[in-house]
Structure 1
Amino acid sequence: MLRPLITTALLVLSVVSLRAQIEYATWVFGVNAAVRFTIPGGGIDSIPTVIDGPQIDVREGSMVYSYPCDKALSVHAMGETANDAQGNVVVNGTVLSGGASSSQGGIFVRDLQKPYSLYLYITPDMTDISATQSPYYTRNKLERRGDGLWEMVERDVVLESRPGSERISATHDAAGTGYWVLTQYTDTASATIEFVAYHHTPTGIDATPVRSRISGVPIPHQAGMLKFSADGTKLAMTNVSDLVVAVYDFNTSTGVVSGRRSITLDKPRRIANMSVCYGLSFSLSGSITYVSMRATATDGTPTRSYVFRFATPTSPGNVTITPEIVCYTPLHNTYPSALQLAPNGRIYFTNNRTLGEITDPETPIGSTVPVVLDKVSFKTGNRALLGLPTCMESTYLRPTPTLVCDVPQGTVTAPSGCVGTCFTITHAVLNAPDIWLWQFPGGLPSTWSGPTPPPVCYNTAGRYPVILTATNEAGTSEIRDTADIMINPGVDAGADIMACLGGPVTLRAQAGGSVEWTDLSTNTVLQREQPVVRCDVPTMFRTVT
């Protein structure tokens, strides 16, 4: 009888996985099942933590996103509905184009032009009944409003008016400043698979997508997975109607898919039959490919959900491979378990009330892979069904992006002084403004653009506002102070005083304010406004106000 291949391992995580960013580090899936891979401060934990709160009911793929400034889950979705982290339905975020039983469901990607703005790509649900029964890929746009609620500001934008598939994936471009979102179509008449890549950059989405047509290949079922390797150079696709996994090269500079490898999976010795090649994941390095299938053992035990693996082929061509058995679990659905690489470098699979874990996916081929079938358990009523969230795995090789998370804030310091004086304006402003507009009513100059204005001169007494309008990518704020400009009060020390040496003298002055006397022979400031002094030597005194 076959036994589950279960090994408990103590694993030292690679530096690469520890640098992973948090954008796809909280997962929501199945029936109210949710885990996070983050630790306080934004790092990635080696063990996922079950969390309560997010509400969802989705059979297959879901979508999640944690905005870097939030440092936690921001939004999640299934094909028909989008929710925020508090469980509120996103404004205008219901009856979307997808469904609850689309293999991958879609993917969230950050809008690179605007803070707190996201794109949600949705795949069609081609194998079940959705509210809209749309066969098309759509793109939607969400923005966070001033009241903190997320709103769907654009929705149901059809990418192409032809039936798509339930597959979608995304990866960073070669520059690392943008990314590609990849969809997949089939042309049955010409036996052609077509990939369409949408390039997001800091200046927007390229107007013309990149098309790659692969001809003379078996037409895949519309259900299945599409995954990039974490470095974006490889692309794999499963097909639930065939035991063939396709692996391609992907050019992260051009968005072109090429170099097809067709891997036919042969039954291992202990397997009587295999079907429904569904779940898919690369190891973090991309050197090993993992798939899930339904399979029945030769000992007559019930059909189960199996995870297999093989070395990722490096050269184009057709090859037949006998994959290694990694583990198996009870079959909880018609399809086998989904697979998903996590930010900690481990691969997870659904197992009803639990998540299973492939602890070290990089284990060399031929060696036993450490697996924990019940790594985390969900509370009663919550469970994994079939699918897991669709993530951009290239984020796992990059640190969390540093974003401007708020409008400029801080202070400016205006002067107090006399008419005819020029003053330096100082400031302490945070959040990296890229536009500085100064106004100095009553002063010269009256306006200035830039972080450091020149000295400002005032020729008339009064109270004048100093206004800084500072703008960054998060918005604009106005910061103020007031300059108090006074008339030079003047001071009259009176006529010179003639006194005998050693005699007392009372110093008096007429001024519009308080006065200060200084003995110039010793450069000593006298403490009273009408000090009495002894003149033992000829002395001069100075008064200021």
Structure 2
Amino acid sequence: MRYIHITFLTILLFNGLTIFSQGEANNWYFGKNAGVSFNTTPPTVLTDGQINTLEGCTTISDATGALLFYTDGIRVWDRFNTIMPNGINLKGDPSSTSSALIVPQPNTPNIYIIFTVDEPHHDNADNDPSTVDGDGINDGFMYSVVDMSLNGGAGDIVAGQKNIPLITYDTSDPLQSAYKCSEKITAVKSDDCDSFWVITHFVDTFYAFKIEQTGVNVNPVTSKIGVTVPLSGYRRNALGYIKASTEGNKLAVAHFGFATVTAGNGPGKVVLYDFDNITGAVSNEIELYNGDSPYGIEFSQSGQRLYSAIGIGNEGIGQSFLLQFDLTLPDIDIPASGTRILNENGVNFSSFFEGALQLAPDGKIYRTQYEDFATDTGDYLGIIENPEEIAANVIYVEKGLLVNSDGRRGVRLGLPPFIQSIFAQTIDIINSGDSNNANLSLCEGETFRLSYQNIPGATYTWFVDNTPISTTSNFLDITATANYRLEVDLNDGSCPLVGVANATFTEIPPSIPVTLIQCDLYQVMGDNLALFDLNLATDQITGGNNQFSVSFFIDLPSAQAGTPALTNITSFENNQNNQLVYARVTDNNNTNCFSITTIELQVNATSANDVELRACDDDGIEDGITVFNLLEADPLILQGITTAGLTLTYYQNIDDAQFNVNPITSYSNTTPNTQGDDIVYAKVEESNGNCFAIASVALFVNPTPEIEEIGAYFLCQNQTNIEIDKGVLPNPGLTNFTFLWSTGETTQSIFVDQAGTYMVEITDTSTQCSNTRTVEVTGSSIPTITSVDINDASNNNTVTVNVQGIGSYEYAIEINGVLSTYQDEATFNNVPPGFHVVYVRDKNGCLPEVTRDIAVIGFPDFFSPNGDGFHESWNVDGISSQMLSDSLIYIFDRYGKLIKQLRAGTPGWDGTYNGKLMPSSQYWYRVELQTGRVLTGSFSLIR
């Protein structure tokens, strides 16, 4: 049960040796509150970073990968992400390509040196070195000293050792003194194994400062060589990284531009040099690339490949690409080896800005991908997965690591620089084949051997958690969690070889046997076969600890081998009673630390009563579908069973019952009027949760008596009572009913003498299913005409009949002996003048109907007494000796002379006056009705 999980190599700093591992570079803070930890594989995004910088930043951890502090070149945050008390106002700049770099002081515990690089501020308007922008001062190249024993062990900058300047310019040149530095800084271990070189470049000179046990040697080794970066436009020209190879024998520089004016910048360059890490001298310039805007640069771990991130165009704004150079070639051939790297989509450029490149502890190279100035961030770091490969085989993933998953942090242009020697290839004491990976995940109780080849004359020193032990052999057997380091001194004057293993021994998971009890399958009772959900054993096996995962196997050899695992674990069918299956319990943190236990599958063959459950189709919809209350079957299923403490749960099908999923308490049948066609299942369980039995419940739907719709009856005032009926329709198969009226009567029909609502419950005696009929009895009466409103002597004569009574009435009118159709409205329109009859009757049939004679008054517009038998006289319509007999009618000529006076019921005017024919003309009338109403108007006499 042993397993080695490979992650990354960690080498410790101890005592007098300047021994570095990749642990010091395991934590990165950069950009907008962004961070990445390489203490895990794959790396983990950090969300606690406080840094907010466009470019410059750096971080340092201890040899085991524990964070110490980080800075943007101005402020210093400790491992608790709190600014150190004296950790402010350093002289770097967040817009400097490499605003800071941290180097430990050799052989001096707790002392670290922060080198800061200011941005070369300059006023682009007048090219006057004395007029600068930014903070108004160009602070150049400085260093500050951090003592990690201060501030309760969280570290602080030593008083009086802050912002100490270093000379990196020609003091005789006033223009250089305005700039003082470029934005480039790198560091590498010296060949003496006991000191470091910190290297920067300015204009045309490399400055190599040596850091020894006594601190910083302020007198640099200078190498004036190669290209000259013009001071004019230096604020842009100074952009770009410098990097040393991990072995310290090469330097590479990305010059962003060579502008000779302050506005914009000209094409940049990528340049390669030899570096003597004994003397600090730089030599042998090789110009690799001339054009566009180089910015990021980085060696592969072996130093055989060089990469540069180059912005397209002289400004380097927008698109960019990665370029690889093959450093295994002769110097003269290296420039021609420059090849663009394709991303995973086969494209050799990207829409991201040129950005930093940084080798990581996992041997991969990471690239910032700043998307645009509008969002001020990017979300991903790109990853060169295999930097040692030739360009055609390089795998570059643009969206390699998502840094900004919540919109609160993001990638910008810079990544933290480190001492490049940290990433040097080291010896593999785990013997995994990958010296970059040295995390060991082991299991408690096992022994693992760390070892390196036995070299004659070499001295082997082992350290456990940074403490030397007495073992001096080339191997060490380990059994406990710790950090293990081997230093191999070849005793030939070279630096010791170092290998590290971070071993974690994980506890073996528990192995608790479990028994699952299931009821025999209902379909084949007695065969001792059932379906089991093996997952139900997981919590019992692991105790509910989600640190452990469980897989299941048919036999022990399969469980030990871890394959083949069972796949039908949620519906596993046993092949015999008390069958054993095997569970492999694995620690999720170390998938090869596992234990094996058994699961016994017991089948309970006891039974409960299969029953029938009947229900009436009484849901108000005669569709043969109803809802069954399944709990009503409880006493039937348990009848005669003496076992105490049983509980019942109902399920729609056998599988649900077997696995205790989707329980139900009610059920609507799917087969209309089912007679046992629909079946549900009751699972009977004991108090300990074990299955006792599974019973079937056959469902039957009984019909309810069919009845008429709600009945409506009317009781007239002149009736003593009426009979209302049960209203039962023919019911096939149902012949015997009982009746219970709301009046208490039990007959099929009853007599009632009052209006109201009456109900009868009709029950089928064979099924006891009932239905209820409701009967509404409405009172009604013969109408009484109280008045008739007549609006006459107009173009639209109307008649409105006013009635009293409790009934619902309808109306008709008889005109010239013709009766109209009855209507619900009591008003008649366009009634002609004359004598008519109105009729009113009860809609519900209460007799008799009632009538009233009416007269509608009207005046003819003309008459023509010419003997033709038509319109021979003029008289008022609707007035007779029987109706309005006391009314008087006066006729005047146009001069107002009374020509004729008539009384109601007398013949009309014949058109004469005193026996003489009156001429054709317009004549006027005045009618004085006996009601007091007076009507006037005119008419024509036509001859």
Deviates more, 1:314-323 or 1:195-204: 314-323
Show the 5 A alignment for 1:137-156. 137-144=141-148, 145=150, 147-153=152-158, 154-156=161-163
Which amino acid in structure 2 is aligned with residue 305 of structure 1? Answer: S
Indicate the residue corresponding to 1:225 in structure 2: 241
1:125-180 deviation per Cα after TM superposition (whole angstroms, max 9, x unaligned): 12696446324101111112152242211111110163110000000011222110
**1:393 aligned onto 2:420:** yes
Aligned pair partner of 1:259 in 272, 284, 289: 284
Aligned-partner SS, 2:422: helix
| 1:197 maps to which of 208, 215, 227 | 208
* SS of the residue 1:121 aligns to: strand
Rounded to whole Å, the distance in 2 between the matches of 1:253 and 1:372 is: 38
Identity of counterpart residues, as a percentage?
26
Q: Is the 8 A contact 1:170 1:392 kept in 2?
A: yes
Residue 49 of structure 2 corresponds to residue 54 of structure 1: yes
Which residue is equivalent to 2:200?
183
Residue 378 of structure 1 deviates from its aligned partner by 2.4
Unaligned runs of at least 5 residues, structure 1: 1-11, 40-44, 187-192, 266-273, 297-301, 401-429, 434-545
Deviations 1:451-485 (CA, angstroms, capped at 9, x unpaired)? xxxxxxxxxxxxxxxxxxxxxxxxxxxxxxxxxxx
| AA aligned opposite 2:164 | V
Task: Show the counterpart of 1:304.
Answer: 319
Asked which structure has the greater RCO (Cα within 8 Å, sep 6+), the reply is 1
> 2:30: which partner in 1?
29
Partner residue in 1 for 2:62: 67
RMSD: 3.2
SS in 1 for 2:28: strand
Distance across 2 between alignment mates of 1:367 and 1:343: 21
**Partner of 1:231: helix, strand, or coil?**
coil
Contact 1:80–1:131, Cα closer than 8 Å, also in 2: no
Mapping of residues 342-421 of structure 1, within 5 Å: 342-351=360-369, 352-380=378-406, 381-397=408-424
- What do the CA deviations read for 1:301-320 (whole angstroms, capped 9, x no partner)? x9423222121365379955
The runs of at least 4 consecutive aligned structure 1 residues that moved more than 6 Å come to 12-19, 430-433
Deviation at 1:24, TM superposition (A): 1.4
Q: CA deviation at 1:14?
A: 9.6
Question: 1:13, CA displacement in angstroms?
Answer: 8.5
Mapping for residues 257-336 of structure 1, pairs under 5 Å: 257-265=282-290, 275-295=292-312, 303-312=318-327, 314-315=330-331, 319=335, 322-327=338-343, 331=351, 335-336=353-354
Q: Post-superposition shift, 1:224?
A: 1.2
Whole-Å separation in 1 of the counterparts to 2:93 and 2:202? 18
Question: Are 1:74 and 1:84, in contact at CA under 8 Å, matched by a contact in 2?
Answer: yes
Structure 1 residues 355-402: Cα deviation after superposition (integer angstroms, max 9, x where no partner): 1111001112333434352323323211011110011121122779xx
User: 1:11-32 deviations in whole A, cap 9, x for unaligned?
Assistant: x989899994311110000011
In the aligned structure 2, how far is the partner of 1:17 from the partner of 1:286?
20
Contact 2:121–2:134 (CA<8 Å) still a contact in 1? no
Asked if 1:157 is matched to 2:164, the reply is yes
- Which secondary structure does the structure 1 equivalent of 2:137 belong to? coil
Report what 2:115 is aligned to: 121
Return the letter of the residue paired with 2:321.
Y
CA distance in 1, matches of 2:395, 2:246: 20
Mapped to 2, the partners of 1:15 and 1:432 lie a distance apart of 18
Using the alignment, how far apart are the partners of 1:304 and 1:395 within structure 2?
Answer: 32
User: Does structure 1 conserve the Cα–Cα contact (< 8 Å) formed by 2:241 and 2:253?
Assistant: yes
Structure 2 residue aligned with 1:136, among 136, 140, 146?
A: 140
Q: Match for residue 209 of structure 1?
A: 220
- Which residue identity does 2:416 align to in structure 1? P
Q: CA deviation at 1:198?
A: 1.1
1:245 — aligned with what?
A: 270
- Between 1:221-230 and 1:314-323, the stretch displaced more is 314-323
Over 3 Å counting, the alpha-carbon distance change for 1:373 and 1:308 in structure 2 is farther
1:521 maps to none
1:79 is matched with 73
Which amino acid letter does the alignment assign opposite residue 386 of structure 1?
Answer: L
SS at match of 1:366: helix
1:65 Cα deviation from its structure 2 partner: 0.5
User: How many angstroms apart in 2 are the aligned matches of 1:322 and 1:248?
Assistant: 16
Q: Which runs of 5+ in 2 are unaligned?
A: 1-5, 13-19, 123-132, 172-176, 258-266, 370-377, 428-464, 469-943
Q: C-alpha separation between the residues in 1 aligned to 2:287 and 2:321?
A: 21
Residues 279 and 431 of structure 1: is their aligned pair in 2 closer, same or farther, counting only changes over 3 Å? Answer: closer
By percentage of residues, which structure has more strand? 1
Cα 1:366/1:76, change in 2 over 3 Å: same
Q: Which amino acid aligns with 2:30?
A: F
Q: How much has 1:264 moved relative to structure 2?
A: 2.5
CA, structure 1 residues 254+141, in 2 after alignment: closer, same or farther (shift >3 Å)?
same
Q: Distance in 2 between matches of 1:216 and 1:384?
A: 32
Greater helix percent: which structure? 2
How far off is 1:115 after superposition? 1.8
TM-score, length of structure 2 as denominator length:
0.36
1:34, 1:52 within 8 Å by CA — same for their partners in 2? yes
Q: Which residue of 2 aligns with 1:483?
A: none
Alignment of 1:90-101 (within 5 A): 90-101=84-95
Q: Map Cα deviations across residues 223-249 of structure 1 (whole Å, 9 max, x no partner).
A: 111000111101000111134211000
Q: What amino acid is the match of 1:390?
A: P
Give, in whole Å, the separation in 1 of the partners of 2:163 and 2:79: 22
SS at match of 2:162: strand
- Alpha-carbon spacing, 1:137–1:324, altered in 2? closer, same or farther (3 Å): same
Alignment partners' CA distance in 1, 2:229 and 2:53: 30
Query: Aligned in 2, Cα 1:17/1:86: closer, same or farther, shift over 3 Å?
Result: closer
User: What amino acid is the match of 1:229?
Assistant: S
Q: Does 1:235 align with 2:235?
A: no
Separation in 1, partners of 2:84, 2:105: 17
Aligned length: 365
Q: Which has the larger radius of gyration?
A: 2
Separation in structure 2 between the aligned mates of residue 347 and residue 73 of structure 1, nearest angstrom: 21
Task: Supply the distance in 1 between the matched residues of 2:151 and 2:89 (Cα, whole angstroms).
Answer: 24
* 1:277 match: secondary structure: strand
Q: CA deviation at 1:259?
A: 0.8
1:206 Cα deviation from its structure 2 partner: 3.4
1:52, CA displacement in angstroms?
2.0
Give the counterpart of 1:103 among 87, 97, 107: 97
